[in-house]
Structure 1
């Protein structure tokens, strides 16, 4: 399942050169990931109600072209890998037909104390059913 989330670049996300600062992409990826879970039928709030979190343990981004204030961009995301304790999402950020950035995040399932935790079987099966 691939989800595409539309985002309008805000002025606060730009730097002195007038382009989107590299750090602004990280919240966009998070928003797309949360939307992916929503569309899968598992709001992140449901994960948290189970006393779990998917902590980001690795992130990689390659920037190809700049975005600017007011641009309409689209963040495309999908779940690439699922294991008993971890998830790996992939992302592409587009402005029309131009690929602006691409990358990934890896997440470890943790309980409230921060200890690694197996993903509950029912949730794991739902995630696997929607992974690429």
Structure 2
């Protein structure tokens, strides 16, 4: 039996009124904002701050994203965004995100990021310190 995946962080949030559309549910694009916010929480957990992450000599840019909606979320509900490292490549990494209201899965996202040199914005391999910070969160093989 495989051990359950462990999120890098769990980011709680409360849905604000302006994040909802005319149907009274969270407007779809806001889920990308929630995922982006969780990415900064990952940096904080692994490196201290965004500036500390940049000081390693790399940054990341989104190369691909996919959202899948499972259930509606509404104003003032509390959600938790949980990112899981899916893959760590030579110059990229893939995160899976679960957005939940209690036990209810609201949305899932998969994002592929590419490591870049902040000065040139060209693809680059991350330094060992960065790779080492992510490795413990890779899914178990088997």
When normalised by structure 2's length, the TM-score is 0.86
Matched, 1:114 2:121: yes
The aligned counterpart of 2:104 is 98
**Unaligned residue ranges in structure 1 (runs of 5+):** none
Contact 1:36 1:78 in 2 (8 A): no
- Once residues 62 and 99 of structure 2 are traced to their aligned partners in structure 1, the CA distance between those partners, rounded to angstroms, is 19
Q: Which residue of structure 1 lines up, in the alignment, with residue 134 of structure 2?
A: 127
**Counterparts of 2:122 and 2:105 in 1: how far apart (Å)?**
37
Of the structure 1 ranges 38-47 and 84-93, higher mean CA displacement relative to structure 2 is found in: 38-47
Higher strand share: 1
Correspondence for 1:82 among 72, 88, 93:
88
Q: Which runs of 4+ in 1 moved over 6 A?
A: none
TM-score (norm 1): 0.92
Which sections of structure 2, spanning at least 5 residues, go unmatched?
1-5
Give the aligned partner of residue 27 of structure 1: 33
| Length, aligned pairs only | 132
